[in-house]
Amino acid sequence: MPGVLQARVVKLVYTYALGAYAARCAGSSPVSGTIYDYNKVGMSNIPKLLNQIIVGNAFDEPRILEAYSCDRSILKMRPEMVVLPETTDDVRRIVRFVSQLRQRGTKTSLTVRGSGLDKTGADLTDKILVSMERMNRIQEIDSRSKLVRVQAGITLEKLNTALSLHGLVLPIDANPKETIGSIIANFTIDSYAGKYHGISHYVDCLEAVMADGNVLQTKNYNRRGLQRKIEDTDDPESGIYNRMNDVINNSEEALTIIKEKPTLDAAGYQMATQVERDNSRVFELTPLFYASQGTLGIITEVILRLEPMPSKVTRFAAGFETASGAVKYVEKISPLSPLAIELYDAHIFERAAENGKELGLFAKRYNKGYIAIVVFDDNRLVARKKLNDCLKLVPDSAAAILETKENTKEFSRIHTALKSYLNDDTKGERLYLADDFYVPQHRLLDFIKHLPELEESVKRELPLFGDYLTSNYSLRPDLNMNTIAGRQDALKFLKKFADYLVEYDGVLTGGSPEGRIKALVVNQEENPTVHQFYQDIKAAFDPENIFSPGVKLESDVKKFVKHLRTEVLQGITED
């Protein structure tokens, strides 16, 4: 990402010269001197043509297409082609190639994919799939400034393993196989966000390829700087700044409605409220990429701020006979600023025990009600004091265990038991239909108390698990995707759960975006003025709708039903 932070981060040595960057953004054709008759280009020829102009690979072999036809959702969409770029220049060439095809009447599009872990179908397509798995390099680490520059396809696990050698960490509690680009684009609220604020707190700037094949490198601009940017017609970025400035200036009503919402909602492009801030003195496009799910552009590189590696986490478990006891207890201890407060319905562990995953030390004490796992990452003395405070607040009716060297493995059993439950499909696949929803803390107890009514209505057990500090929770209904009735039940459940959630001031997309699945419900409920505002943002970035059509704003029930999976998702779905 040449030159983006040179004034601020002089110690970062970029791999590209400024002149090379200018040439890269100048709008050259995919391959200099090569002319294609796009009117005669069929899909069978595109992989060969792309392989001629990119360092990476393009494939259309059936076995490869099949491997990329599922994510973690209830959908299956087999792409026409899978492309694996290795550089930002590869991505530029792919996007420009597809843009030129569309301009000549070939109806195709691009959908970007990270590790294929999305729960909403946002990384699936029946057109061209761009997998970022090979763009997985750490470009440079500046340990003194606590900054790192990475390609968007690097996984959280690979990044934090490398950073640990420098005593640094990106404090995000996501699936370790998740890519950095996906964490940004999906904007899922992780369980550490209550203390560390989530991924948006750590993105310094990013690089993304736009629909015209040019590269956008996000940066803060004051009013004067923004005007200069817009007026510089030789700058490939000027167009998007000009269009987005107009959209923001003409959308006061929509922005007011969004700002008045009681909580962050990952549907649409709600972070647009952060584009212009500090009383209009700052203008920045980075926030629009949070929860964008690849619909505005393809993120290729990111500069991240980092934290010093914290002390080893210490855990504390408390078991309660009732949900009321658990919720009242965690309300009392939340002011102690723990890293996380995990809540589990004990029915989860009953089901896991049926598969042999007993909780060991916890088995007799934690076999009903709710379990709270409190996590601290303070230094040893501070953590000890906080844990003692937690113990003092435990009521006589509850059972409590403090983590020690001797019982650390017993604490690990809790998470392995959860994984066993989530992968148990003896009664039907545990589907990702009600994951990452938001329920405000003051309504949580009412939500849980009336959950049996929903269970009775849908004829399914719905044990809850999630994090109290972020108010982000999940339920996993067990449904059989092998049958027509099961697929119908999945759609009915989604609508019924969304209606139930509204009764308790909850938000279906409070913890992660709508993708293709939740969009069926969210788009129907969205304020028309706000929905039009989101469409204007999409049009400003992607006027030809090249990126991920059908994701977020364009839900279509008929197309959705057409792509419902008809078999159980293969492999381990939760790890």
pLDDT at 281 over 90: no
Overall average pLDDT of the 88-112 stretch: 92
CA separation for the pair 259, 507 (Å, rounded) = 15
DSSP annotation of 289 = G
**What pLDDT does residue 575 have?**
58
Residues listed for the chain? 575
**What pLDDT does residue 12 have?**
37
**What pLDDT does residue 557 have?**
86
- SS3 state of residue 318: strand
Angle at 408 between CA 403 and CA 409, to 5 degrees: 145
CA separation for the pair 360, 345 (Å, rounded) = 17
pLDDT in tens, 364-403: 666 679 999 999 999 888 988 999 999 999 998 888 888 8
Q: Tell me which of 55-64, 180-189, 260-269, 386-395 is least confident.
A: 260-269
pLDDT in tens, 53-86: 999 999 999 999 999 999 999 999 999 999 999 9
The overall average pLDDT reported for the chain is 88
Confidence at 354, pLDDT banded by 50, 70, 90: confident
User: 285 and 230 in contact (C-beta within 8 Å)?
Assistant: no
pLDDT at 5 over 50: no
**What pLDDT does residue 423 have?**
85
> b/e per residue, 444-454, with b = 16+ CB within 10 A?
bbebbeebeeb
pLDDT at 130 over 80: yes
pLDDT at 427 over 90: no
User: 550 and 509 in contact (C-beta within 8 Å)?
Assistant: no
pLDDT in tens, 444-478: 999 999 999 999 999 999 999 999 999 999 999 99
**What pLDDT does residue 62 have?**
95
pLDDT in tens, 320-333: 999 999 999 999 99
CA separation for the pair 87, 442 (Å, rounded) = 47
Q: For the chain, what are the domain ranges?
A: 311-422
Q: Tell me which of 233-242, 354-363, 487-496 is least confident.
A: 354-363
**What pLDDT does residue 420 have?**
87
β-pairing, 307-308 with 138-142? Answer: unpaired
Q: What contacts 24+ positions apart, CB below 8 Å, involve 330-334?
A: 330/372, 330/374, 330/468, 331/441, 332/393, 333/374, 333/389, 333/390, 333/393, 334/468, 334/469
Query: What are the tokens at 555?
Result: 């839900």
β-pair partners for 376: 314
CA separation for the pair 222, 276 (Å, rounded) = 10
Position 181, amino acid: G
Give the sheet arrangement for strand 110-113, strand by strand.
57-59, 81-84, 128-131, 110-113
β-pair partners for 206: 302
Overall average pLDDT of the 32-51 stretch: 65
DSSP annotation of 573 = S
pLDDT at 170 over 70: yes
Q: What are phi and psi of 53, to 5 degrees?
A: -115, -5
Overall average pLDDT of the 290-307 stretch: 97
311-422, CATH topology level: Alpha-Beta Plaits (3.30.70)
For the ranges 350-364, 442-456, 543-557, the maximum mean pLDDT occurs at 442-456
pLDDT at 25 over 50: no
